[in-house]
Structure 1
Amino acid sequence: MITGLYEAHLPVSSLSVAEPFYKKLGLKEAWRDEDTLFVWIEEGRSWLGLWEGPEVHTPYHPALRHIAFRVSYTDLKQSVQWLESLGIQAVPFGSRTSSAPFVRPHQGNASVYFNDPDGNSLELMCRVEVPDALKHITEKLSFEEWEVRIRGL
């Protein structure tokens, strides 16, 4: 199921300092908000998340203990069953109560989360082609909700 690395994360003291440094290395901005910047390592395939703020410099901050593995969209749809077959439980992300895979239309990706035996956050993640008419959606959508929206176009 896993085909490569989708993302890794690093803490930074200042995005205004980190951004020009990573862009100088030839990495293009993929996505950002007020305290995070994602830059493409391989455009459309893997990125690096840079997190600003004093709290990310603590040894157990989730941004420092997280990686995402690249999978296909088809495999992500079956990921919870695959994890369960390995004796691994998917876990909810953030404020979500469901551990089912979900789509982030505004970022163009979809994910499911789980933890390793040491509590490190792991993710299976894929790119999702998002029609322009849906790119404004910032809420996380279940696969069922996503597919209904796509069919409605």
Structure 2
Amino acid sequence: MIEGLFETHINVSDLERASEFYENTLGLTLAYEDSRRCRFYWLGERGKAMLGLWEKEPAQIIRQHYAFETSNEKMKCIVPWLKERGLQVRNFLDDGTEDPFVFGWMPAVSIYFSDPDGHSLEFISVLPDEPQPELGVVAWEEWEKNHGRSLKLQK
């Protein structure tokens, strides 16, 4: 019966600050603002998925993780795009580099960053390759060399 995830919500300590980040830094489109101190944003195409921001007291904020889907093509330039917006980028290993990594079991490539409340955010893109769970987590450049794809990263 389940065909996808339509909506998820993030608790934020300052709705205006969070809205500035999600609208102007990440480019989400405002769908609706409610008098209950919440705003809803379209994720991707209108009517396909939604993100709700709910203002709460700082003590009620539990840092969570959210992953945003992107295309393989957009993933090639996501690191510079995030850095242009003043965001600190990290990979799955949090090894001090900004190199995207591939989860071999999916396979999917991803990169991480944080929102103003410290929620862990991720851009992820499923790759067109066959899963290789035995590889674990590998650098995207290494994955590309071994799979003959040519999705050159922009640095």
TM-score, length-normalised on structure 1? 0.52
Q: Which runs of 5+ in 1 are unaligned?
A: 10-45, 47-58
2:117 aligns with 118
Q: CA 1:67–1:136 in 2, change beyond 3 Å: closer, same or farther? A: closer
CA apart distance, 1:95: 5.3
Q: CA 1:108–1:147 in 2, change beyond 3 Å: closer, same or farther? A: same
Secondary structure of residue in 1 paired with 2:147: helix
Q: After the TM superposition, which residues 72-91 of structure 1 pair with which residues of structure 2 at under 5 Å, given as runs? A: 72-91=71-90
Amino acid paired to 1:72: S
Q: Pick from 129, 132, 139: which aligns with 1:135?
A: 132
Distance in structure 2 (CA, Å) of the matches to 1:146 and 1:67: 24
1:80·1:89 contact (CA, 8 Å) conserved in 2?
Answer: no
CA apart distance, 1:139: 2.1
1:105·1:137 contact (CA, 8 Å) conserved in 2?
Answer: yes
CA apart distance, 1:93: 2.4
Deviation digits for residues 105-151 of structure 1, max 9, x if unmatched?
A: 212211100001111000001111223xx623342111210111102
2:111·2:123 contact (CA, 8 Å) conserved in 1?
Answer: yes
Distance in structure 2 (CA, Å) of the matches to 1:98 and 1:119: 19
1:27 aligns with none
Amino acid paired to 1:144: E
Deviation digits for residues 73-128 of structure 1, max 9, x if unmatched?
A: 12112111000111111123245442321111212211100001111000001111
> Are residues 1:151 and 2:138 paired?
no
Distance in structure 2 (CA, Å) of the matches to 1:92 and 1:80: 10
Distance in structure 2 (CA, Å) of the matches to 1:76 and 1:114: 14
Distance in structure 2 (CA, Å) of the matches to 1:113 and 1:7: 21
1:70·1:124 contact (CA, 8 Å) conserved in 2?
Answer: yes
- Aligned-pair identity (%): 33
Q: Which runs of 5+ in 2 are unaligned?
A: 10-48, 50-60, 150-155
Q: CA 1:128–1:85 in 2, change beyond 3 Å: closer, same or farther? A: same
TM-score, length-normalised on structure 2? 0.51
CA apart distance, 1:6: 10
Deviates more, 1:87-96 or 1:138-147: 87-96
